[in-house]
Structures are given as structure tokens and as C-alpha cells.
Structure 1
Amino acid sequence: MHFLVFALTYPLIWLLSKLPMRFLYVISDGFFFLNYYVFKYRKKVVLDNLNLAFPEKSNEEKNAIAKGFFKHFTDLFMESIKAFSISEKEVLKHYKYKNPEVINNLVKEGKSIALVGAHQANWEWSFSLPLVLQGNIYGAYTKLGNKYFEKTLRSSREKFGILGFKTSETVKGMQKNFNKKIQGSYILLSDQSPQLTKTHYWNTFFGINVPIHTGAEMLAKKFDLVVVNYVAKKVKRGYYETEFQLITEEPKLHEGYEITDKYLALTEKNINKQPELYLWSHKRFKHRDKIEEWKEMRVAKQKTKK
């Protein structure tokens, strides 16, 4: 059954990926209309998130951001399909890097790097990082249930030189590199909501108290990784520019969750510049009222250990 699904759908995906971008955006416009006006996929989730994040904005402003998000969301879907066949020349034309020397200079100094980022603008085309950055670049991926799509998608994402880790094996892979003194830059998207059972820290994001991913900071301190934020902005439709923003070169000198706080503040600032480009369709604030429940879970867990 998995092969049948793959055999029926992948040829269509491949053919679509070979179309020029201007034709893909015509298709995107059609998907946007159906999604925004007919099916309304996650429209309520997006508006709920915007109401929480921007209580000072008028309904008209928030509706405009929501509409802009869904236009971008369908564009991103088509751009992800284009990734299957996009060439080096074409991806670098559409996805430019403003200051790759920030990373390359660190690599020359023998440093390994945690590349933290958010689901903003087009993060899928960051698979072109090896075309402008020196050294090994590693990215975590979630294994798909369909092994045929799994193999094809992984091959596509690694075609420019990204080295893939299964998400569940990221720490093990980093430890192996660390033991062998292999340098690397590790892509760590860190903006989604962690499970309550895996939460260690809470802080405000857009003024709302929520559980925060702290894995990037933990790994940076464990393996002495320089922490650099990378953020893409949309210059115009189909064209992006990515900037690298240094957070710290000495993670072990930061106490508590100071690195995470700096990343959060930077992410919020970047989102405010182009709010329609953030992934508002995921439930970033779903645990906002559960801090007491989390505390009870931690107390119960500690009692169980005793």
C-alpha cells in the first residue's frame, strides 16, 4: 500500500516541481482561495493565536495578518514542492544569504555551531546552507511512516550537502561527532511548544507565559557550541534573504536559561517585522494555562523517583 501511494503521487509532485515558479504561484493562488474562503483550514487557530499575540491590534489588522499568512502558507507549500528539483543556481537566486561570513569565520576558528531558528518565512530552502557555508552542516528530520517517501524526501533535503540525523538520534549523533572532534553546524528549530512532560522552563512569548524548548541551550552548553540565530525575511514573492545573528560564542558562561531568553527575544522581534510569515497555524500557546498542572506533574514525578 505504501508503494502504491508513493507510485501514484510522487510522479505528480515531481512534474509540479519542474514547473517555473510563476506557474506554481498561479496554482498557489488557487489553493489560497479554496483554503481561506472555502475549507478554512486552521483559520480559527490562526486568528486565536493572533488575538493572543497582538491584543493591541484591531480586528482589521489581525485579519490582514491572517490573510497574508495564508497567502504565504500556500506559497510555502508550492516552494516545498519546487525543492524536489530546484537547482543550485535557482535556489541561490531565490534564497540569498546576507552575511555567511559570520558562520564561515567561526568555522575557520575551529568552532562548532548551534544554528537556532524559527518556523518563519521559508525554512525549507535552508537546505541550501551548504552552498554558502563551510564545514559539515547537520539537520534533524522526523522519519516518515512511508519508507518510499522517507527515502525520497531525505535524498531531496540532503542533495546540497546537508547531513541528516533522525530527530530521536540527534544527541547521539552530536556526541559521536564531539568524541571524534568532528566540527559541525547543527540546525535546531526551537520555536514550537514542547510536551508538558518534557518541559523544563517557562517564559513569556508575546506576553504569554508558555513552556519553552530549551534543548538548543542544553546542547550548546554540553558540546560548547557557538549559538547563532538565523532568520529569513521575504524580499518579494518567491525571494528571501537570510541573516545570521550571533547570540553567544561562550555558552558555558551563561547561567540558567539566559541563551534561551535571548533567542526568544530575538525571535519575537523578527516576527514583529513580518508577522504574516510566522507559522501561526500551529498551537504555540496551547499550554498557556497549564503551569500549575505542570508543577503538579513535576512534584508527582519526583515522588515517584523517591
Structure 2
Amino acid sequence: MLVFFAKFISRIPFKAIYIISYFLYLFIFYLSKYRTGTVHKNLRQAFPEKSEKYISDVARQFYRHLSDLSLEVIKAHKMSAEEFKERCSILGADALEAVSKGRSRPVIVLTIHQGNWEWMLHAVSQHLGVPIDPVYKPLHHKGWDQFIHEIRSRFNSRPIPMKQAGRDILKRKDGFRLFVMLADQTPVEGERSYWVSYLNKEAPFYLGAEKIAFLTQYPVFFAQCRRLKRGYYELEFKELAVPPYENTRDKNNHQIIDAYVKAAEAAIYEQPETFLWSHRRWKRRRKSNE
């Protein structure tokens, strides 16, 4: 039923989308109070010097954006290539192509849950004329997982399940291709991770992207997605690391993750209302052996 409703929503015009979004905002913020405790806790942690009014204002703006984002993601199921190009501009593409050695090798792109990461994938594909292979964590709801997979598979993109990402990336070494990873997700319990201060609290990060970069000697970029106005975004590519990389046998050498965390924090502080504050990023506690 949920997927059927989503497919219906994807066909209606943007004007109607944003009318529905307003009522969705009223419901999740005022009635259901969806994760309001988590949002305020995360904001207070990230902005300890700010007033309660600032925290409340950002929280309210976040829920307005979250409502828009939820419906925009659904709308992506039926958006045309021209709409993606029109609604999401690109900055820094020249630097991206330069380090790929004349479009002869892939590039790893790391991003965060900010702006509209789903539109971002297809906008880049249309602007640059290059395949996008997003690495994703399958959702528990099979119907919803299939619906999101259909969105991410459009325009010759190849969504790669996280567990298969390393093997797939190592196999496909030829040609200009972007491997996109939302690298701010929490590693599963028991998996080796790197703990680093992130928005004023220690958090674990996956080592997978960094390991792949060291093995393949691919350049790594950060993609920052800014909201320009309702329904319009700007994506900027920022260089994080370019090979040759240092000796990877040093377990304390995490230059790529450190650069990623720094870029992620700068992006969040620049436009905090568009970051996914409802995400329980700091739910794990560091164990003595980690």
C-alpha cells in the first residue's frame, strides 16, 4: 500500500507535492513529534554555544526540509533527465575530470545525508554524461527497498549493495565512473571502524571507502549538496585525496577519513537545517578494544 501511494505521488506536479509537504510537516513536527528528542539532542551537541532559540529554529527548518525531501525522493521516480539538470547545478566538475586522467579511471565520491542526495546522483549523471554507481545499504522493508532501488537505477546507474561494493569496484577499474558512498552511516556492531570526533562527539566511521581508495589508488572527492531554494540544489565537488597515497600498513593513517570528516562538518555548519539530524549517528559507544 505504501509503495502504491508513493508511485501515485511521483506522478503529481511539484506544486501539489509542496502543498502535501506542508501538511506532512505539520504532522511529523507537531502531531507525531517524529524523533524530536533525537533532533534536539544532536543539535545541542553540534552547537553547544548556540541559544535555545537557535536550536529550536534550526529544528523547525529541518522538519520543513525533511518533509520536502521525503516527497522529492518519491518524485524522483518519474522526474525526467531535464528536470534533474534544471533543479541541481554542479560545481567543481573540471577538477573531478582532471584527476581521472582524461576520463580514463574511476573516482570515489563520498557524501553525507544533506540536501537531496537522491537527486544529486542523477543530476551528476546528466550534467557529466557519466555512469553513477551508488553504494547503498538495503532497507528492511522489501517493497520500499525495491522502490528506492528503481529510483537509483535510472539513467544506467548501478546501485551496489554495501557488502558487494569492494569486490565490484575492484573488478571495474577501466573508464570514467563515479562510485558514490554515503559514508556517514554508522558501522554495524562488531565491524572494525575508525573512531573520530564528529560534531563534538566521538563517532565510528567505516574503513571500507578508505581501504578501496588505497588498494585502487583512485582519487577521492567530497560532494556537498546545498539547498538553494525549495526544489533546487547545488552540488559542489571538493578534492579530499589524490594518489599516490602513503603506506597503508600504518593503522593510525586515516588521511582520507580525517579529510572527509572535516569536509562533512564544514558542510553541516554551513547549512545545518538540511542535514539529517534525526539520524541516530552517535548511538554506539566505543568499546575498550576498538
Give the alignment's TM-score, normalised by structure 1. 0.86
Q: Which residue of 2 aligns with 1:25?
A: 18
Counterpart AA for 2:65:
H
Equivalent residue for 1:138, pick from 133, 143, 146: 133
- Residues 46-99 of structure 1: per-residue CA shift (max 9 Å, x gap): 001111111111111001111111110010001011001001111111111123
Q: Which residue of 2 aligns with 1:285?
A: 282
Q: Which structure: greater helix fraction? A: 1
Q: Which residue of 1 aligns with 2:148?
A: 153
Compute the displacement of 1:159 (Å): 1.3
Q: Which residue of 2 aligns with 1:15?
A: 8
CA distance change for structure 1 residues 280 and 12 in 2, over 3 Å: closer, same or farther?
A: same
Q: Which residue of 2 aligns with 1:3?
A: none
Equivalent residue for 2:41, pick from 40, 43, 48: 48
- Residues 20-59 of structure 1: per-residue CA shift (max 9 Å, x gap): 1121111000010111111001010000111111111111
Equivalent residue for 1:216, pick from 184, 201, 209: 209
Identity of aligned residues (%): 27
* Conservation of the 8 A alpha-carbon contact between 1:220 and 1:251: no
Give the alignment's TM-score, normalised by structure 2. 0.90
Q: Tell me which structure has the larger Cα radius of gyration.
A: 1
CA distance change for structure 1 residues 165 and 268 in 2, over 3 Å: closer, same or farther?
A: same
CA distance change for structure 1 residues 253 and 135 in 2, over 3 Å: closer, same or farther?
A: farther
SS of alignment partner, residue 103 of structure 1:
helix
Pairing 1:270–2:264 present: no
Compute the displacement of 1:147 (Å): 5.5
Mean Cα displacement is larger for which, 166-175 or 101-110? 101-110
SS of alignment partner, residue 54 of structure 2:
helix
Number of residue pairs matched by the alignment? 284
Q: Which runs of 5+ in 1 are unaligned?
A: 1-7, 299-306
Pairing 1:169–2:164 present: yes
Runs of 4+ in 1 over 6 A off after TM superposition: none
Mean Cα displacement is larger for which, 167-176 or 106-115? 106-115
Residues 1-306 of structure 1: pairs in structure 2 closer than 5 A: 8-107=1-100, 108=102, 110-128=104-122, 129-144=124-139, 150-178=145-173, 181=174, 183-250=176-243, 252-253=245-246, 256-287=253-284, 290-291=285-286, 294-296=287-289
- The 1-side partners of 2:229 and 2:73 are apart by 17
- The 2-side partners of 1:267 and 1:274 are apart by 11
- The 2-side partners of 1:145 and 1:281 are apart by 18
Q: Give the superposed CA RMSD.
A: 2.0
* Conservation of the 8 A alpha-carbon contact between 1:141 and 1:167: yes
Compute the displacement of 1:167 (Å): 1.8
Compute the displacement of 1:286 (Å): 1.9
* Conservation of the 8 A alpha-carbon contact between 2:103 and 2:176: no
* Conservation of the 8 A alpha-carbon contact between 2:121 and 2:132: no
CA distance change for structure 1 residues 160 and 45 in 2, over 3 Å: closer, same or farther?
A: same
SS of alignment partner, residue 119 of structure 2:
helix
- The 1-side partners of 2:32 and 2:112 are apart by 27
Mean Cα displacement is larger for which, 20-29 or 189-198? 189-198
Counterpart AA for 1:104:
E
SS of alignment partner, residue 96 of structure 1:
strand
* Conservation of the 8 A alpha-carbon contact between 2:108 and 2:221: yes
- Residues 130-170 of structure 1: per-residue CA shift (max 9 Å, x gap): 11224442112334566555544323322122112122111
- The 2-side partners of 1:277 and 1:227 are apart by 23
Compute the displacement of 1:226 (Å): 0.2
Compute the displacement of 1:109 (Å): 5.1
